[in-house]
Amino acid sequence: MARRGKPKGRPISGWVILDKPKGLGSTDAVSKLKWLYFAQKAGHAGTLDPLASGMLPIAFGDATKTVPYVMDGQKVYRFTVRWGAETATDDTEGPVLRASDLRPEQAAIEQVMHAYRGEISQVPPQYSAIKIDGERAYDLARGGESVEIAARGVTIHRLDIVSMPDAQTTIFEAECGKGTYVRALARDMGRDLGCFGHVIDLRRLSVGAFDEADMVTLEELEAAADEGRETLGEEAVTAGARARVVDFTPLDDYLLDASEALGELYEVSLSDEQSARVLSGNPVLLRGRDAPAFCDEAFATGLGRLIAIGTIEQGSFHPRRVFGGR
């Protein structure tokens, strides 16, 4: 029987909140950062199309266990709609399907927008990652198939007009829940207005507990990697591919603790002794008059980092998922 090799890379844990540039796919972005950080494990919270820019939260190591909490969080998008044409992809990549000479006034747009706030029913774009009989909708669409995608409920908490640069375009900002497609929002508003429309620019500003202040650019990360190389000296850098970065301190300065993803949960602060017990999978009694007796979901921090996610029952914290435990 073949022996399993030692995992390749560093066993780091944490989040890097990438300001993804246009033209870079989400999977490629994760691969790039995994390579830069020489990380054993990485994943992202919420795909961004290559044509979109902005926040792409990327988790390393144990922090990948908190990805669902980020994906379930609210997201804020700023997007620009060009009126007068509906495309096959609902953005600039696809051919025009329908066109109109009509251009809407702001008052007409504001009137239509009321129907797109709150809980609404939305049909995802044909070119989306929705699975149809095990196949991605965009793969079927690219193969020439016309697929029926069922409408689903989504929640739009806020939808505002930011500006109208000209008669052709309107810039919006939307705060929405999981599963909302901004491209479908532009498509449907265009149909209601009778002028059609598609997205020409899309930027994600926040995801869950993360906001714009947390974002770091790829250029900043590459500069941090270069700083780590510079500490080695030219001879060491040219010695081999894996020697490209040995001092990861400049890169690791951009790592956020896994607990940063759990901003909406109750936090339990543990002593070193309590942390050791929880890391071994044992419950601990919470002390202090403000400690809750019951909580459906909470997270515990100690030893300077996230320790566990669990429940509080009869004044004791019971770990369900341990981070970095034995």
Please identify every residue annotated as catalytic. Answer: 49
User: Could you give the CA distance from residue 228 to residue 249 in angstroms, rounded to a whole number?
Assistant: 7
Task: Give the residue among 295, 300, 323, 325 at the shortest CA–CA distance from 311.
Answer: 295
User: Kind and range of the H or E element at 132?
Assistant: strand 131-132
79: buried, middle or exposed (CB in 10 Å: 19+, 13-18, 0-12)? buried
Query: Quick one: angle between helices 26-37 and 218-230, nearest 10?
Result: 20
Name the phi and psi angles at 90, rounded to 5.
Answer: 65, 15
Strand partners, 256: 15
Strand partners, 10: 39
Reported for 316-322, long-range contacts at CB under 8 A and 24+ positions apart, including other chains, are 316/283, 316/284, 316/285, 316/286, 317/268, 317/270, 317/278, 317/283, 317/284, 317/286, 318/283, 319/278, 319/281, 319/282, 319/283, 321/65, 322/278, 322/279, 322/281
The one-letter amino acid at 163: S
Residues 6+ apart with CB under 8 A from 223: none
User: Kind and range of the H or E element at 59?
Assistant: strand 53-60
Burial per residue of 162-201, b for 16 or more beta-carbon CB atoms within 10 angstroms, e otherwise: eeeeeeebbebbbbbeeebbbbbbbbbbbebbebbbbbbb
The one-letter amino acid at 208: G
